[in-house]
Amino acid sequence: MDEFIYIYFCVLSAAFGAVFGSFCNVLIYRVPRGESVVKGGSHCTSCGQPIKFYDNIPVVSYIVLRGRCRHCKQKFTPRYFIVEVLCMLLWLGFALLAKRFGYVYSICCMGVSLCVVAVAFTDYENGYIPDRYNVVIAAFGAFLCVYGIFAETYVSWQSRLLGLAFSVLFYGGAYAVSKWIFKREGIGFGDVKFMAACGLFLGIKAAFVATLAATITASAVLVTLSVRRGEKKKEYPFAPFLGAGVIIAAFVGEIAANAYLALF
Ligand SMILES: [Zn+2]
């Protein structure tokens, strides 16, 4: 019976992941434009025609219509498809974690992953992180903290508070140093708030792994870009890398950190 619930939970999570990925696309488009995220149906951004429900099925519609508007045939940005598939896979992945970390942690990870994806793409497209996502991530972190006081959790509530402290000191410090010493923002203050919220959610060990993973991916990608295009001094959004680090850490951060610490 437990096995049945687990499999059912995984299948359902993948389906809802795609649906919420679709909502995530709405957030990415509308939040920076100051539009309501609940009112008003979807429209083609090119011809303005409302998109019918049967053309708005996550993942499927994009493939059926080959990424084009049914009316004006204008190509939609591939970001719609990428975000829907990404959220579907992330939710499936976090559902699979339920066996090891429990359903509560899995569901919280799903909520946080939506915010992280929205943050990564909003920062990539608009160059800033809307505060509301940080508030939601921090709320999930605070909930797990309180939950951890009363119930057995894989990551203790003390670890989550330390994760918050680590992120504030590390990212706040990096922000202050780059601003006051180098007279430019190495990382944005939005990045600091984002990682503070994620630190509370992840706990100290996973927050450290997230930082390590973000630094490695950022260095690898930026070095490749600068070698290939010879670009320099262009400002790159940092949140996509931080987001990738946070997602990796949410999956394997605690396990990786414990395995590493066991070596000593
Ligand atoms: Zn159109």
For 177-190, write each residue's pLDDT tens digit: 888 877 777 788 99
Kindly give the parts of the chain with pLDDT less than 50: none
111, 140 contact by CB (below 8 A) = yes
28, 127 contact by CB (below 8 A) = no
pLDDT recorded at residue 142? 97
CA–centroid distance, residue 128 to ligand 1 (Å): 28
Cα distances from 210 to residues 86, 244, 247, in angstroms, run 19, 8, 8
CA–centroid distance, residue 119 to ligand 1 (Å): 27
pLDDT recorded at residue 232? 58
CA–centroid distance, residue 227 to ligand 1 (Å): 38
pLDDT recorded at residue 231? 58
CA–centroid distance, residue 75 to ligand 1 (Å): 8
For residue 13, give the nearest of 81, 111, 79, 150 by alpha carbon: 111
**Which residues, 6 or more positions from 84, have their beta carbon under 8 angstroms from its beta carbon?**
18, 21, 22, 25, 58, 59, 62
Rg (Cα) of the chain, in Å, rounded?
Answer: 20
CA–centroid distance, residue 55 to ligand 1 (Å): 12
Cα distances from 12 to residues 18, 22, 55, 236, in angstroms, run 10, 16, 21, 36
pLDDT recorded at residue 1? 63
CA–centroid distance, residue 23 to ligand 1 (Å): 19
CA–centroid distance, residue 130 to ligand 1 (Å): 28
Domain locations along the chain:
1-101, 129-264
CA–centroid distance, residue 50 to ligand 1 (Å): 8
119, 194 contact by CB (below 8 A) = yes
**Which residues, 6 or more positions from 121, have their beta carbon under 8 angstroms from its beta carbon?**
28, 79, 83, 240
pLDDT recorded at residue 86? 97
CA–centroid distance, residue 56 to ligand 1 (Å): 13
CA–centroid distance, residue 59 to ligand 1 (Å): 18
CA–centroid distance, residue 57 to ligand 1 (Å): 16
Q: Is the model's pTM score more than 0.85?
A: yes
83, 117 contact by CB (below 8 A) = yes
